[in-house]
Amino acid sequence: MSGQIFALSPRKILVDTDPGGDDTFALLWLQSLVKQGFAEWVGVTTVAGNVSAELTFASACKVLALGGFESVKVGRSVIWEGGTIGDASEVHGMDGMGNLSHVLPDSPRQFAAASYADEMIIDTLESAPGEVTVIGLGPLTNLAAAEQKRPGILRLAKELVLMAGAFEVPGNVTSQAEFNVAFNPEAAAAVLESREDIVILPLDVTRKLILTVEMTEAIGQKYPHLELAQFIHQLGQFMSESCLRHRETAGINGFLVHDAVTVAYLFYPETLLFRRGWVRVENAGNYTRGQTILDRRHETKCFTNAFVAVEVEAMNLLGILVDDLNRLCSQRLKEGVRI
Ligand SMILES: [Ca+2]
């Protein structure tokens, strides 16, 4: 009997992202899965977060070009100036990509000419209702703006998968709050009200995902004449030094690939376990603004809005990520790309 029970069509993906070192690894992992036939890009929308709107747009364009995806549509962040916390350039570099953007070719795409993300999200989901999986890797500003402009639009996504929040572990911006939620708590709250089945990958699991310098260095050594592989190696080094400086990896020389866990959920779901519940965002507290809260009391609940990841098989997930990055590099060599 064949192991192939039925043929699956590639999963259509729209990514909302604020690259970001860990965003970059999520985008590269997806590129590998697209080339393997498991995923299909329908677009990338960028959002101000780790760095400015202009820089997240530029970084996304460059990362897509690394894998040969220059034709994927890229949207720019909606304009929003309500933030009270700063960006994360001290972690991800001034350009959001380990101060390495100068080593990559400039993209011909123009920020000023790009579509706004909320319009792109609305158009994408309306044109293919129930077909497109939306992955949120940054603050939820764009997704909330789309929902506000066109109430109910996020329900048209096949799935909504977010790297967001911290429940049983400390935050990474304040003692309680995770960056993507803390950056724009009102947007996070609005998005969490949009559906009953939002998939949330919080710091509780992403803190266990330390991609080590040895892992990224090995990719660089395996493909010494491939720009993509050298970039992976150099970005891994930068991010690892940054994570060590911020004491995020228990002294291990590696970095936390937070955003990449969304890709694992979609394509390697056996690596994760989830708890069903109702997640809300604290947006009033003096010391807890941006905290995510899951009610774990045993009282009857008629409403829940999320599946929250609580456990991850970290070494399995990291091993698969490295394998898929190697496959992407190998494929780029077959496509004739060299430095
Ligand atoms: Ca991110």
Q: Give residue-wise pLDDT tens across range 228-247.
A: 999 999 999 988 988 888 88
Provide the pLDDT confidence category of residue 4 given band limits of 50, 70 and 90: low
Q: Which pLDDT does position 244 carry in this prediction?
A: 85
Residues of the chain above pLDDT 70, percent: 97
Strands 272-277 and 132-136 turn out to be: unpaired
Encode pLDDT of 42-84 as tens digits. Answer: 999 999 988 889 999 999 999 999 999 999 999 999 999 877 8
Span from the CA of 11 to the centroid of ligand 1 (angstroms):
21
DSSP letter for each residue of 87-108: --HHHH-TTSSTT-GGGSPPP-
**At a CB cut-off of 8 Å and minimum separation 6, what does 89 contact?**
50, 51, 95, 96
How many other CB atoms are found less than 10 A from the CB of residue 101? 18
Question: Residue 1's pLDDT band (boundaries 50, 70, 90)?
Answer: very low
Q: If you measure from the C-alpha of residue 145 to the centroid of ligand 1, how many angstroms do you get, rounded to a whole number?
A: 18
Distance 302 CA to ligand 1 centre (A): 32
Q: How far is the CA of 17 from the centre of ligand 1 (A)?
A: 6
The string of pLDDT tens digits covering residues 7-40 is: 679 999 999 999 988 999 999 999 999 999 999 9
Measured distance CA(203)–CA(206) in Å, rounded: 5
Ligand 1 centre to CA of 20 (Å) is 5
* Confidence (pLDDT) at 6: 62
Residue 279 pLDDT > 70, yes or no?
A: yes
Average pLDDT of the chain, as a whole number: 93
Tell me the CA–centroid distance for residue 301 and ligand 1, in Å. 32
What is the rounded CA–CA span in Å between residue 98 and residue 89? Answer: 9
Tell me the chain's radius of gyration from C-alpha atoms. Answer: 19
CA of 18 to the centre of ligand 1 (A): 5
* pLDDT tens column, 85-105: 888 888 878 888 888 888 888
Distance 2 CA to ligand 1 centre (A): 40
* Long-range contacts at 239-247 (CB < 8 A, ≥ 24 apart): 239/21, 239/22, 239/92, 239/98, 240/212, 240/213, 242/21, 242/90, 242/91, 242/92, 242/93, 243/91, 243/210, 246/91
- Given a contact cutoff of 8 angstroms between Cβ atoms, the answer to whether 22 and 258 are in contact is yes
Q: How far is the CA of 260 from the centre of ligand 1 (A)?
A: 9
Instruction: Measure 108 CA to ligand 1 centroid, in angstroms.
Output: 23
CA of 218 to the centre of ligand 1 (A): 25
* Distance (Å) from CA 172 to ligand 1 centroid: 13
Q: Measure 139 CA to ligand 1 centroid, in angstroms.
A: 7
Mean pLDDT to the nearest integer, 146-165: 98
Instruction: Report, as an integer, the average pLDDT of 105-118.
Output: 92
Distance from residue 201's CA to the centre of ligand 1 (Å): 12
- CA dihedral of 290, 291, 292, 297, whole degrees rounded to 10: -150
Residue 304 has pLDDT above 70, yes or no: yes
Neighbours of ion ligand 1 (CB under 5 A): 18, 20, 23, 137-138, 259
